[in-house]
């Protein structure tokens, strides 16, 4: 199991230069990084220019960091009813260029006044099958993030149904214990349900309960992360878990506090 840091809030949202950001992440002790599937306000993966792709991969390689995942931002289900659906094929190409094995996307859902759930479900299944026709031969996996109120995948069981209908070993889930806990699911029990379908994990923290909560750096909130790590180890998960923080959180503090909270459970020194 590897410990990574998701750079989006800092290198994209706050325009922090790539090289010093990754140098800090590597010096802290992380094994890898997650990177944004777009750059700036665009939802197009082509907004990550060839120069930025080359710089990110070269810097990660120089520092011994693995690019663990590409994270997209637009909600897939909702985008399928617009003129600009989420470009997962373009995100797969970005993964190839940067050396990432995985693309993570957010699901979305119909909401109260949206299209019929059944129609949206079928569009998503068909779209994912087509995207996987592009991804699987290139050895790139796709993972949905994840379970949330109002989404098509609004329960752990809904994800399992979607997984079965898509029917590909290259399709799985991004495990997010914070959002599971906010929806009153035991993350460890969900990990037992999902097993090998978990391709990646995002670790953020919170205080409070749905619908009123505040995000925190992992280790500063309510989540028992040593228990989460043990639960993932118990199902044989051996991929990356990535610290996810937000623009309101100081970068240096987020790096240090997140690492200190997770490293001992993963057998890493602090």
Whole-structure pTM value: 0.97
**Residue 99 near residue 35 (C-beta atoms within 8 A):** no
Per-residue model confidence (pLDDT) at position 146: 86
Q: Encode the chain (270 residues) as per-residue pLDDT tens digits.
A: 999 999 999 999 999 999 999 999 999 999 999 999 999 999 999 999 999 999 999 999 999 999 999 999 999 999 999 999 999 999 999 999 999 999 999 999 998 888 999 999 999 999 999 999 999 999 999 999 989 999 999 999 999 999 999 999 999 999 999 999 999 999 999 999 999 999 999 999 999 999 999 999 999 999 999 999 999 999 999 999 999 999 999 999 999 999 999 999 999 887
Per-residue model confidence (pLDDT) at position 148: 95
Residue 203 sits in a domain of what CATH number?
A: 3.20.20.150
* Cβ-proximal residues to 67 (8 Å cutoff; 6+ apart), any chain: 32, 33, 34, 35, 56, 57, 60, 98, 99, 100
What sign for the dihedral angle of Cα 148, 150, 155, 158?
Answer: negative
Total count of domains within the chain: 1
Q: Which domain holds residue 183?
A: 2-266
Return d(Cα 63, Cα 130) in angstroms, integer: 35
- Number of CB atoms found within 10 A of residue 36's CB: 22
């Amino acid at each position: 199991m590897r410990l990574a840091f998701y750079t989006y809030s800092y290198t994209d949202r706050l325009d922090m230069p790539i090289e010093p950001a990754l140098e800090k992440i590597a010096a802290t002790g992380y094994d890898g990084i997650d990177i944004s599937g777009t750059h700036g306000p665009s939802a197009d993966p082509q907004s990550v220019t060839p120069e930025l792709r080359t710089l990110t991969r070269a810097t990660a390689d120089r520092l011994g960091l693995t690019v663990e995942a590409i994270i997209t931002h637009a909600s897939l289900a909702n985008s399928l009813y617009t003129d600009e659906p989420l470009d997962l094929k373009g995100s797969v190409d970005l993964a190839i260029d940067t050396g990432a094995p995985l693309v993570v996307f957010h699901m979305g859902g119909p909401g109260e006044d949206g299209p019929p759930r059944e129609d949206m479900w079928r569009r998503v299944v068909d779209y994912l099958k087509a995207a996987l026709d592009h991804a699987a031969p290139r050895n790139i996996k796709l993972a949905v993030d994840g379970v949330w109120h109002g989404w098509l995948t609004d329960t752990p069981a809904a994800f399992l149904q979607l997984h079965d209908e898509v029917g590909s070993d290259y399709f799985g889930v991004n495990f997010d214990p914070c959002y599971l806990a906010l929806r009153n699911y035991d993350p460890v029990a969900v990990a037992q349900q999902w097993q090998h379908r978990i391709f990646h994990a995002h670790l953020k923290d919170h205080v409070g309960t749905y619908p009123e909560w505040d995000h925190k750096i992992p280790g500063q909130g309510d989540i028992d992360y040593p228990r989460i790590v043990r639960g993932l180890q118990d199902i044989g998960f051996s991929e990356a878990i990535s610290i996810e923080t937000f623009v309101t959180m100081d970068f240096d503090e987020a790096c240090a506090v997140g690492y200190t909270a997770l490293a001992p459970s993963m057998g890493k020194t602090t």
